[in-house]
Amino acid sequence: MRQNLVAGNWKMNMTYQDGLALVSEITSMVADEVTAANAPQVVICPPFPLLHAIGRLLPQGSRFHLGAQNCHHKESGAFTGEVSAKMLASVGCEYVILGHSERRQYFREDDELLSQKLKAALAAGLKPIFCVGESLDTREADETFNFIGKQLQDGLFHLSNEEFDQVTIAYEPIWAIGTGKTASSAQAQEVHAFIRERIARAYDAKAALNTTILYGGSANAQNARELFSQPDVDGGLIGGASLKSRDFTDIIKSF
């Protein structure tokens, strides 16, 4: 079911104590300030060592959910340093980010591997937030739609209708991540509408209508309201701004 959603990706930031303090501030501020009927669901995605402690601080039965930033594609085995989807579920995770541009770039994760991670996450009962997006070179070559279409086809559209219903998609223009640049609301809407059209083609109109699609390129408290007002933008995958309680709360209030 399509819903408004804001996910905070802390990346490799926050010590144990700093993370606990941040999430306590966020939950308190949201409880005091967020009252709109269309207020979003909120996913907090801290680093692995903080997951269990952060999950215990999230108010039960509230709009808050726990998410991880990645998972391994195998359920268990001799994979030193890796974390399985089943492990994530066991500490209370409901969501997991897959295919983030930093994982694709720095760890060479390709669509074949990501398709296996999707299956593993779904088998463990997790809801994937699947990321797609183009580089500046790709955009300037006018290949944005071909590139994202291939990411969707190769990495995601092998899922069954029932599996796909559990997926949230995040469009993250790589040229706008950590650069201070942001896609205009019109640029974001254009790509989100394209993604929704491709979902309808791969599955059906109902699936396209019900899929939550987030914007993930340097969204912040200043531009969130305009971005979220676009008809096919259902929220944001927030990086740096999710590390500041005031900014993150203001983004949540932007609906």
> In this structure, which amino acid lies at residue 42?
V
pLDDT tens-digit profile of 160-169?
999 999 999 9
CATH code for the domain of 44: 3.20.20.70
How many helices (H) and strands (E) the chain has is answered by: 12, 8
Residues serving a catalytic function are: 100, 172
Run of H or E including 241: none
Is residue 4 a contact partner of residue 40, using CB atoms and an 8 Å limit? yes
pLDDT tens-digit profile of 33-68?
998 888 999 999 999 999 999 999 999 888 999 999
* Parent domain of 125: 5-252
Residue 4's alpha-carbon distances to 110, 231, 234, in angstroms, are 28, 11, 5
- How many domains does the structure of the chain reveal? 1
Write out the DSSP string of 164-190. HTT-EEEE--GGGSSSS----HHHHHH
Is residue 95 a contact partner of residue 44, using CB atoms and an 8 Å limit? no
- Whether the full predicted model's pTM is greater than 0.75, yes or no, is yes
pLDDT tens-digit profile of 177-197?
767 677 899 999 999 999 999
